[in-house]
């Protein structure tokens, strides 16, 4: 068989797979489309419980680590349950059926409608939690969802989809409201699903994000993380260090919201380093830094054998002294930013790059340069007691989220002490060519009909609108 004929055959097979999944999804969604709010919320609870259930959360966490080698079981259990619990809280507080908003002054009433079938592209870093999070949002909008997982985490995603389907069947709803792309997942089958569904939501590789945007289907994709945080001279250093440690080490730094650089102002640099070490950091020396950089990147790409691994694996891989294994993560001091300085980018590992800045303004410029290199649009953090500085960062820097005095991983994707929506999908705005500049939430999974009635005329005079221009520049 020639290469051209083989490619046509593969494309035909992919189209057939997509067509079969879509047929079942359409039938299931049609049944669910007329559900009232109570029934929708019953479905949302069932899907959430299918992952939150302790024995399910543990089984999925163990399988995810076994299959991908990424992260660790205890933190994956916490992540699955925390994210699912938080998302359920958010979703049960909002309406997505019938009238959802009324503005009598403007004469507008809004009604929510389903979008149809959602294509959910999910990553290997969260093969259990992300599919459920997207399914919850889809089901809340009375949609069906087809999950296209990373091949590396396929068994985990397949299991969680089975759990969700069982949960739906238990309450008398069609299992096919949630489906998974059959194995082996290929670029062709993923592309076919992207082209067939009514909305694509992509978390994971930037290649998949770009392919989704080119699919001809409305798409929501997210950008790469590379979170920098500032510690200024007003910060509670011990508190900042403890939060950075807890956030950095969570699930072995698999989160895109994990701190990748910390920029410390000179006035408290030594004290801050001491606080970070006290909280669990190991400070690498110059020779060790070179080894870390050379091993963490191979042929310009992150080394899959070292990302999202525990400290014992890193100590061995980086040839660090044995006592480093008793630490929780590694600090590496750096001065450069950009392609020639890979430590200034996202690492997905228990390695945190440290920069010294002369003052807050210099720290802000360091953060700007880091984000311009990688992670622009995503998020940053600040440890301070000076809220005017937080406002300055929010006004001046190209990020969607500025978190103040947070363990960044736990606040950025929603937290019980954070007003951001619980999600595993963070939009980065046009800075990373994303269609949203907020956390993915239920509003992105509904269509809205506007009922419009006449109101008293609201037509200002020409003088009101053009007066300032006439006064300054003439008619």
Active site residues: 256
What residue ranges in 65-218 does DSSP mark as E strands?
Answer: 98-103, 108-114, 117-121, 144-148, 178-180, 199-202
| Residues 52, 135: Cα–Cα separation, whole Å | 14
349 Cβ neighbours under 8 A, 6+ residues apart: 252, 253, 296, 302, 306, 307, 308, 309, 314
Asked if 116 and 106 count as a contact pair (C-beta separation under 8 A), the reply is: no
What residue ranges in 291-438 does DSSP mark as E strands?
Answer: 297-298, 301-302, 329-333, 351-357, 377-383, 399-404
Place of tokens 């992509």: 202
Give first-to-last CA distance, the chain, whole Å.
Answer: 75
| Residues 78, 129: Cα–Cα separation, whole Å | 10
Asked if 276 and 241 count as a contact pair (C-beta separation under 8 A), the reply is: yes
Q: What are the two backbone dihedrals, phi and then psi, of residue 387, each rounded to the nearest 5 degrees?
A: -70, -20
Token code pair at residue 54: 């302790």
The backbone region for 332, taken as left when phi is positive above 0, alpha when psi lies in -120 to 50, beta otherwise, is beta
Write down the H helix ranges in 93-205.
Answer: 129-140, 154-170, 187-196
| Residues 351, 354: Cα–Cα separation, whole Å | 10
Asked if 129 and 79 count as a contact pair (C-beta separation under 8 A), the reply is: yes
DSSP letter for each residue of 353-394: EEEEESSHHHHHHHHHHHHHHTTTEEEEEEE-S-HHHHHHHH
Token code pair at residue 440: 């993915």
222 Cβ neighbours under 8 A, 6+ residues apart: 202, 203, 209, 256, 425, 426, 427, 428, 432, 434, 440
Look at residues 41, 43, 75 and name the one whose alpha carbon lies nearest to residue 61: 75
| Residues 379, 146: Cα–Cα separation, whole Å | 29
């Amino acid at each position: 068989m020639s290469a051209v004929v083989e490619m046509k055959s593969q494309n035909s097979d992919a189209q057939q797979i997509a067509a079969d999944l879509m047929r079942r999804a359409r039938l299931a969604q049609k049944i669910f489309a007329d559900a009232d709010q109570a029934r929708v919320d019953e479905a949302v609870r069932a899907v959430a419980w299918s992952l939150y259930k302790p024995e399910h959360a543990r089984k999925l966490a163990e399988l995810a680590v076994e299959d991908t080698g990424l992260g660790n079981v205890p933190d994956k259990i916490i992540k699955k349950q925390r994210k699912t619990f938080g998302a359920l809280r958010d979703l049960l507080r909002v309406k997505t059926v019938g009238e959802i908003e009324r503005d009598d002054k403007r004469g507008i009433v809004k009604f929510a409608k389903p979008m149809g079938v959602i294509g959910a592209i999910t990553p290997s870093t969260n093969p259990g939690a992300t599919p459920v999070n997207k399914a919850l949002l889809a089901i809340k909008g009375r949609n069906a969802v087809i999950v296209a997982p990373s091949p590396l985490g396929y068994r985990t995603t397949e299991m969680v989809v089975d759990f969700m389907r069982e949960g739906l069947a238990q309450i008398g709803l069609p299992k096919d409201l949630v489906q998974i792309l059959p194995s082996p997942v290929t670029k062709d089958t993923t592309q076919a699903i992207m082209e067939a569904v009514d909305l694509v939501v992509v978390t994971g590789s930037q290649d998949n994000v770009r392919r989704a945007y080119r699919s001809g289907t409305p798409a929501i994709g997210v950008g790469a993380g590379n979170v920098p945080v500032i510690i200024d001279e007003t910060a509670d250093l011990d508190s900042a260090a403890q939060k950075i440690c807890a956030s950095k080490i969570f699930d072995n730094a698999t989160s895109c919201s994990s701190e990748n650089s910390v920029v410390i102002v000179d006035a408290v640099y030594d004290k801050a380093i001491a606080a970070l070490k006290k909280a669990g950091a190991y400070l690498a020396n110059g020779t060790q830094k070179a080894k870390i950089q050379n091993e963490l990147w191979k042929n310009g790409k992150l080394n899959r054998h070292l990302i999202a691994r525990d400290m014992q694996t890193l100590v061995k891989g980086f040839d660090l002294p044995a006592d480093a294994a008793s630490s929780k993560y590694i600090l590496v001091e750096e001065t450069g930013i950009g392609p020639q300085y890979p430590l200034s980018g996202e690492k997905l590992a228990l390695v945190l790059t440290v920069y010294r800045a002369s003052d807050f303004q210099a720290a802000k410029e360091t953060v700007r340069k880091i984000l311009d290199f990688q992670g622009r649009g995503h998020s940053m953090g600040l440890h301070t007691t000076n809220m005017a500085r937080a406002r300055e960062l929010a006004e001046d820097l190209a990020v969607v989220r500025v978190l103040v005095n947070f363990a960044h991983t736990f606040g950025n994707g929603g937290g019980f002490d954070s007003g951001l929506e619980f999600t595993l999908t963070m939009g980065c705005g046009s800075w990373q060519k994303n269609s949203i500049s907020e956390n993915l939430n239920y509003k992105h999974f509904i269509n809205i009909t506007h009922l419009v009635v006449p109101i008293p005329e609201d037509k200002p005079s020409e003088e009101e609108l053009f007066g300032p221009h006439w006064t300054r520049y003439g008619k």
